[in-house]
Chains A and B, each alone.
Chain A
Amino acid sequence: MPQIRHKPRRGYEDVAVCVPVTIPYERYATKTAHWWIARALSELAGRAGISHRDFDGLSVSSFSLAPDSAVGLTQHLGLSPRWLDAVPMGGASAVVALRRAARAVEAGDASIVACVAGDANEVDSFRKLLSSFSRFAQDASYPYGYGGPNGSFALLTDHYMRSYGATREDFGKLCVAQRDNALTNPHAIMKKPLTLDAYLEARPIADPIHLFDCVMPCAGAEAFLVTTVDIARDLGLAFARPLATIERHNPFPDDPVQFRGGWAMDIDELYAVAGVAPDAIDLVETYDDYPVIVMMQFEDLGFCRKGEGPDFVRSHSFTNDGSFPHNTCGGQLSAGQAGAAGGYLGLVEALRQVTGQSLSQPVPDAKRALVSGFGMINYDRGLCSGAVILEGDAP
């Protein structure tokens, strides 16, 4: 077979990411995904000073729109976009939505793209979502104890702890720091401080996963705009530039168990295209649906080598004023997981931090953020991953 020469990645010209929007979460709500997405689009338009009809591009991520799709949403909400996208990638949704929207804007297929994720959470929604998640999960993981994501991540966590010597104290340190960050975020759903002792004494859910390793499913929405630098300036919007992005699906299919994600395939190019090294990053937002994945991301995103995650955690502090500011709004573990909006949480928070609009405690001199996404336990592992480096545009 012929050798294929892959086209080198290239960075972005003239793309602005702006207007970070969070519609405050609720644990359970009778409102629909349409309601949450409408609130987010309204907030986007209002803060940009334009009408929602001015959005000529729309990217939607939601698990609970059925029977509607992104198409139905255009009519329901009165948009007439010339570019429409649906990104069903859970925790990787925001990075992927941003990547696609940025190229659309660069190419002139759209000029203002509203990227939005929102989900409903009625009582019993979570159980119903699980039961129809994927064919492999239905056939080959749910019939075994029906632990849902808890069960799948418990197996990965167990294996990671055995292989690399991570302890519950290490995971606890991350969770406690995120709770500290969340206490500075008015939108966080968790309002009470968390101590390491409370973390360690929490009830087991699926060993070795305990209560505070799990996110709280809730309802809510997150959104941002992707447009050109000129339009952002004309509208007077603080913005960030995407320096580089990566995306990968079903990486390393022959690994017997997941101990690395797709970032490990692409991370060198991320930094090469961005023209920065890991030590030039001021804050990191990882996908934290279970702390073991956070530790894997520290390794796979190049902050330490494979297997050094536990040591890295022991030698850093992760609060917004710490040596490695991380999940600065509390992450999903403490701010809540509003379905697909969980995949947007880190990006929207990073955008706030690097554009001086932070709601939580600002990270000092925050200029560059790395945001990482991870999603979709199709069977035994998360398949989708992505990352972006955002740089705030100095006014």
Chain B
Amino acid sequence: MSEPLRPPPRKDPQAPTRPPQLPPQERSRAALGLVGAAARGVFALQRCGNCGTVAYPPRDACAACLSVDLAVEPVPDAGEAIAETTIRTTTDLYFRERAPWRVGLVRLDCGPSVVTHLHRDVAVPGRVRMVLKLDRSGNAVMMALPTTWSAPMADDPELRELTASPKFRRVLVTDARTPTGQAVVEALVKAEASLVFAGIAEPFKPFAGREKLEATERVQIVPLDLTDTSSVESLAGEIGGKTDIIVNTADHVRPGGLIDGPGVATARVSFELNVFGLQRLASSFGPAMRGRGADGTNSAAAFVDVLPVHALANWPGFGVHSATAAARLSMLQCLRAELRPGGVRVLSVFTGPVEDDWRQSVPPPKVAPRQIASAVVRALQEGIEESFVGDVAADVAARFAEDAKTLERELGS
């Protein structure tokens, strides 16, 4: 049974920080085809469109019938672990730093045998549930988990490498003035974050929920105005070296498009917070996080952005807001590549319209703050790179995956 994870000791300021290394990065293009499913937490492999054989390792033609019609699709995740090893010696620097490393051979019920990361609580031989996750180099890898789950199992060191669990980590929530921000703070405390910095712009202005925030253990209110470069830099100077996770909950939202909208001045305010605010966060906190990606139990782990799903396709009723979201999405893609050398993940949490004062005219279903909060925690705990909160976000994502142009036309009617 699992040893529970212990809180990390206070860092010795004289000890060198373990430099981040990445697991092997090279992949064939077919193997990269599994990244999308892994990013969304779906267990999917190639399946032959001609004969139905599940193909693994990823390949360019079906070994059963030589068809080249191989598409990645969800497959049953059950299997039998038939062999195991614990690797203690390797020439790879990433695994060398993390040895011993348990590896198994699993015969999937859907066909292939797979070499896989093996959870320490899996008995061999024995049944397993497989998951597909992104490793720190951003590639899809498999892990075999026990078929029954208990909370301490999340502490498995290999699983922690494939996720960004908030447990024992220090998290900055960038805007805790809103109900969404406060729900995220609360959920992170519940998920055993060791400290949550709750960012508040212009702290002298009163806001609802302040007392509760101040009364919560392991929460510390910090001044943070994402529209002000010196505010962001000053906070980074103070807590940047011990910020393991950032959850950006800031979002400036106003209805309207380009012709029927509030004009450039308001659009500028939206971009200032939603887009340049993200950039300020990234440039001020990013370097330290990237350097601390392998810094023990409370290493830097993830940058989470909560953004509108209309980043994927413009919703003209909130056209300018959608445009800021699109810019934000593009910046996240850039940041993901920039943080990868440190093994720090960038997780996008796409939401449908949130239940708030600016969206009173939007018909339901709308997203409640606690839904967003639990999606953020789940994304961290399971290492999900793209999650979609609420029915609208899931619907938009499905339509986007089908055909972006059709989606644009649908949203424009």
Contacts and interface: CB of A to CB of B under 8 A. Distances in A.
A145 B91 CA distance: 10
B318 interface: no
A151 B103 CA distance: 8
Given A155-B115, A206-B87, A253-B63, A145 B101 contact: yes
Given A144-B115, A144-B116, A205 B88 contact: yes
Contacts of A253: 63
Given A143-B139, A207-B86, A257 B91 contact: no
Interface in B100-154: 101-105, 107, 113-117, 124-125, 135, 139, 141
A380 B90 contact: no
Interface string B273-308: 000000000000000000000000000000000000
Interface residues of A, number: 38
B357 interface: no
B125 A126 contact: no
B86 A144 contact: no
Interface string A310-337: 0000000000000000000000000000
Interface stretch (B20-28, B183-191, B198-206, B377-385): B20-28
A146 B91 contact: yes
A206 B31 contact: no
Interface stretch (A156-164, A171-179, A264-272): A156-164
Contact of B83 (A131, A146, A148, A158): A158
A25 B86 CA distance: 31
Interface in B206-235: none
Nearest to B26: A138
A140 B115 contact: yes
Contacts of A152: 115
B412 to A, nearest CB: 41
A256 B107 contact: yes
Interface string B26-46: 111011000000000000000
A46 to B, nearest CB: 38
Contacts of A207: 84-86, 88
A206 B115 contact: no
Contact of B113 (A138, A158, A256): A256
Nearest to B85: A154
B19 interface: no
B390 interface: no
Given A155-B103, A155-B105, A204 B88 contact: yes
A253 B57 CA distance: 13
A156 B141 contact: no
B153 to A, nearest CB: 19
Nearest to A255: B113
A155 B116 CA distance: 11
Contact of A154 (B87, B91, B94, B117): B87
Given A136-B57, A147-B90, A159 B82 contact: yes
Given A139-B58, A147-B85, A257 B105 contact: yes
B96 to A, nearest CB: 8
B80 to A, nearest CB: 8
Interface centre among B28, B56, B90 (most CB of A within 10 A): B90
A46 B286 CA distance: 66
Interface string B54-80: 001110000100000000000000000
Given A147-B85, A159-B83, A162-B125, A140 B113 contact: no
B14 interface: no
A151 B85 contact: yes
Contact of A139 (B28, B84, B91, B107): B28
A252 B45 CA distance: 22
Nearest to A129: B91
A141 interface: yes
Nearest to B117: A144
Contact of A256 (B31, B82, B90): B82
7 contacts: A126-B91, A136-B57, A147-B85, A151-B87, A155-B84, A203-B88, A204-B88
Q: Which 10 A-B pairs have the closest CB atoms?
A: A154-B85, A146-B92, A140-B57, A145-B87, A139-B31, A159-B83, A127-B91, A145-B101, A147-B87, A256-B107
Given A159-B105, A162-B125, 6 more contacts: A144-B117, A145-B99, A146-B87, A162-B83, A253-B63, A257-B83
